[in-house]
Structure 1
């Protein structure tokens, strides 16, 4: 049986199933009874598990936190795991096609989650279906583990592996990154810096939709007393900028709109941060308001436009995973409170406390409190391990990319939820990486390669 040829028979079904899943808006919301992450993620999880059931697999839902889809027999301690997630980041603005319509245009399927991570998870599930239907015998159980809270806290995996103590697979991969194999993932810290005042702020600054996304817009609303300063400096500031800041007088206030380019928080250099741009402009103004002045000074001194964390004293780097990255993903300054949201990806040989201590020292200089919103330890699987070498060989054989090497990333995947796991695809080298951005799309002809790789990966690991 030529599995790589056989699996392509399922391509049309894969496309339809991805479309069905994308049409479920699965951004985290306030919890409801029996829906810990809101209605959308619960419905998306139900869809994925029903798909698994309809394809002939055993499925189980664990309180709408997570679920799994099983094929084959064998002891749990020897099973192969495939981990995917059905939740998505907020869609943002500026899409050419509705983000939850799953429209196909010129061979591209547009929609939030087609790359991250509904599309790849469904492709892997159909690869398992092809193995089931082929009659090829596997010696290990294969379990597809599906979570509903990967983007905003990992409560799904904490519940599944932590509270429920579900068994760890012997080996696992998650199709939630890029090809070839990701053997190292930086540690991830989401920190908020906050400060509260006794009286109300005379300004409002808002920007960003999630800590782990580079924001493509930010807005500042200020008293008219700043209008002359803004008018004097804005044209000069915008002269050499690709992404502009605009001003308008509205309802007795002066309003600034900063535009940028969104990207995943793990790759801030791929975007242009509208929040940091707004503060860069504010630093050119003579500001009398003490609260605003202190805020701008703090930002300029310790953050600025760079994303290495150098001004905060955290520009760490190492050989396996490279340099630390820093993203200001969110800001909320309103009423009597200021809040910055930082996404920090630190190298695998460093500890989170080394990062936190340096940030805290500098935050205290402006009376800011630091809160750890979430923390994920680094992942590191040796390049010469059976898991990495097996998957690398499959990738090279199918793509012809014989010079490829395992990679390290700043992104955080479910691979670090298991004891022996790596990220494996699904983004190919010639695919545009627009995860977490507007117009997220999947070129349908890439599904052929995805399916071939995943069916061979499952077979080689589980045979």
Structure 2
């Protein structure tokens, strides 16, 4: 029986199931009783687990933190894992179609999570369904592990593997990156720099929705005392930029709205950071307010418009994973509190301590306090391992991309939550990467390749 042909029979069901999942807004919210990440993620998790039940698998929900879907009777020691997540980053603004409608237009399904990571997880689940229905016998158990807090802290995996001490698979993949195989993932640091001021600030700056997204807007509200200088310099500044800063007056205050382009925080060069752009412009002004002046000086001296962290002294680089990347994802400056958040992806041969030491020295010079919001250690699986070689061969055979090589990324996937795991798809080379951006979409025709790859991967790892 040809599994790659059989799995395509489920394509229409896959499309409907993705739509059902995307229509549940699963951005993290305030916890509720029995819903540690809020109502949306809990509903999305149960939706995915219920799909597993309807497809005929054994399913368990672990306190709405995570769940798993099992097929086969092999031992836990030899188990094959597939890790996916149902939570999503906030939708942001500017969508052409409602982000939680999963509307299909010209062969594309638009919606938050169609790529990251509801669509790929559901494709892998139906690939397992095809194997089940084929009657093919596997020698190893396959477990689809689904989390509800991947985007904002990994509390799901900490609960599942930490508190509950669930067994780790012998080898795993997560369909939460791009093809071919991601064998190295940079370390991730979400750092917060803050300052408590003795008096209320005479300005406010707010921008960004998440540390790990390049912000596409930032709004600064200032005293009218800088109006004349802004008028003198803003047109020239905007003339040299693709994305603009607009000026308006409201309630006897000056408002500067900086616009940019959103992107995943692991790929800051693919976007345009509205926060750093606003501070870049502010650095051209003669600012008298002391707190604002200190903030502008900090950005102008240490952040600039850089992606590498060079001015912070952290532009580290290595052969397996490349250069460090830096993104300022969020800022809040209002009342008597200043806070902004870093997303840093550092190379696999460096340590978090090396990064933190350099930033902390410079923060202290400006009277700012550095704290760690979250952290994830790097991942590295050798290219010549059985897992990497097997998945690479499958990818090459099905796509014809015979010159492909394993890759390293700055993104953080569930692969680093377990031993001997890699990210494997689902983004193909000719697909636009608009994860974490407006108008996230999935070309329906790409499901054919996704399904073929995942059904073969599960079979070859578990046969």
Hey, what's the Cα distance between the residues in 2 that align with 1:57 and 1:68? 10
Match in the other structure for 2:128: 128
Match in the other structure for 1:8: 8
Hey, what's the Cα distance between the residues in 2 that align with 1:239 and 1:442? 35
Unaligned stretches of 5+ residues in structure 1: none
Q: Deviations over 1:367-392 (max 9, x none)?
A: 11111000000000000000000000
Q: Deviations over 1:337-382 (max 9, x none)?
A: 1001000000000010110111000000011111100000000000
| SS of aligned partner of 2:343 | strand
Alignment of 1:335-414 (within 5 A): 335-414=335-414
| SS of aligned partner of 2:153 | coil
- 1:172 correspondence with 2:160: no
Hey, what's the Cα distance between the residues in 1 that align with 2:174 and 2:100? 24
Normalised by the length of structure 1, the TM-score is 1.00
| SS of aligned partner of 1:236 | helix
- 1:224 correspondence with 2:227: no
Q: CA RMSD in A?
A: 0.3
Match in the other structure for 1:254: 254
**1:315 CA drift (Å):** 0.2
- 1:147 correspondence with 2:140: no
**1:240 CA drift (Å):** 1.4
Hey, what's the Cα distance between the residues in 2 that align with 1:406 and 1:295? 41
Q: Deviations over 1:52-84 (max 9, x none)?
A: 000000000000000000000111010000000
Match in the other structure for 2:429: 429
**1:440 CA drift (Å):** 0.1
Q: Deviations over 1:386-412 (max 9, x none)?
A: 000000000000000000000000000
- 1:115 correspondence with 2:110: no
Hey, what's the Cα distance between the residues in 2 that align with 1:94 and 1:77? 47
Hey, what's the Cα distance between the residues in 1 that align with 2:409 and 2:239? 35
Hey, what's the Cα distance between the residues in 2 that align with 1:4 and 1:307? 42
- 1:418 correspondence with 2:413: no
Hey, what's the Cα distance between the residues in 1 that align with 2:184 and 2:239? 41
Q: Deviations over 1:122-172 (max 9, x none)?
A: 000000000000000100000000000000000000000011000000000
- 1:452 correspondence with 2:452: yes
Unaligned stretches of 5+ residues in structure 2: none
Match in the other structure for 1:160: 160
Q: Deviations over 1:201-241 (max 9, x none)?
A: 00000000000000000000001111111111101101111
Hey, what's the Cα distance between the residues in 1 that align with 2:288 and 2:268? 32
| SS of aligned partner of 2:353 | helix
Match in the other structure for 1:207: 207
Hey, what's the Cα distance between the residues in 2 that align with 1:65 and 1:358? 35
Hey, what's the Cα distance between the residues in 2 that align with 1:339 and 1:77? 45
- 1:88 correspondence with 2:93: no
Alignment of 1:262-281 (within 5 A): 262-281=262-281
| SS of aligned partner of 2:298 | helix
Hey, what's the Cα distance between the residues in 2 that align with 1:73 and 1:266? 38
Hey, what's the Cα distance between the residues in 2 that align with 1:96 and 1:316? 39
Runs of 4+ in 1 over 3 A off after TM superposition: none
| SS of aligned partner of 2:36 | coil
Hey, what's the Cα distance between the residues in 1 that align with 2:298 and 2:265? 22
Hey, what's the Cα distance between the residues in 2 that align with 1:105 and 1:57? 33
Q: Deviations over 1:411-460 (max 9, x none)?
A: 00000000110000000000000000000000000000000000000000
Hey, what's the Cα distance between the residues in 2 that align with 1:178 and 1:242? 28
Hey, what's the Cα distance between the residues in 2 that align with 1:62 and 1:416? 20
**1:310 CA drift (Å):** 0.4
Hey, what's the Cα distance between the residues in 2 that align with 1:2 and 1:431? 26
Q: Deviations over 1:230-285 (max 9, x none)?
A: 11110110111100000001110000000000000000000000000000000000
| SS of aligned partner of 1:167 | coil
Hey, what's the Cα distance between the residues in 1 that align with 2:401 and 2:28? 38
Hey, what's the Cα distance between the residues in 1 that align with 2:168 and 2:249? 58
Match in the other structure for 1:193: 193
